[in-house]
Amino acid sequence: MARITYVEHDGTEHVVDADPGTTVMEAAIDNGVPGIDADCGGVCSCATCHVYVVSDPQPDLPARSGAELEMLEFAVGRQDNSRLSCRLVVSHDSDELVVTIPESQI
């Protein structure tokens, strides 16, 4: 299992254990984490699952695809550490990931 910590904009934390192969978005939805809307259901076409990866050190994550970069152009408050959580797949049992959820997805 991988551990994902979701931090809401007000500092509230939600710690979730996720199986390898699960996306950060799926783990949030399955565990009732607020703030990740995922309007498109995880097909990288809406940018409403935007998060900031704040883990230190940075985990081994897949590079942003062209589609993800295009959708991030629509994300509110985009930063250098912005990612779409539907594109972040838990890949190792030892993964520990911390993400911050923006105050608004739209």
Give DSSP secondary structure letters for 52-98.
EE--SSPP--PPPPHHHHHHHTTSTT--TTEEEGGG-B---TT-EEE
**pLDDT the model gives residue 94:** 57
**pLDDT the model gives residue 37:** 95
Which stretches of the chain score pLDDT less than 50? none
Count of domains for the chain: 1
**pLDDT the model gives residue 93:** 62
Structural domain for 43, as ranges: 2-100
Domain with 51 in it: what CATH number?
A: 3.10.20.30
Whole-angstrom Cα distance, residue 1 to residue 12? Answer: 22
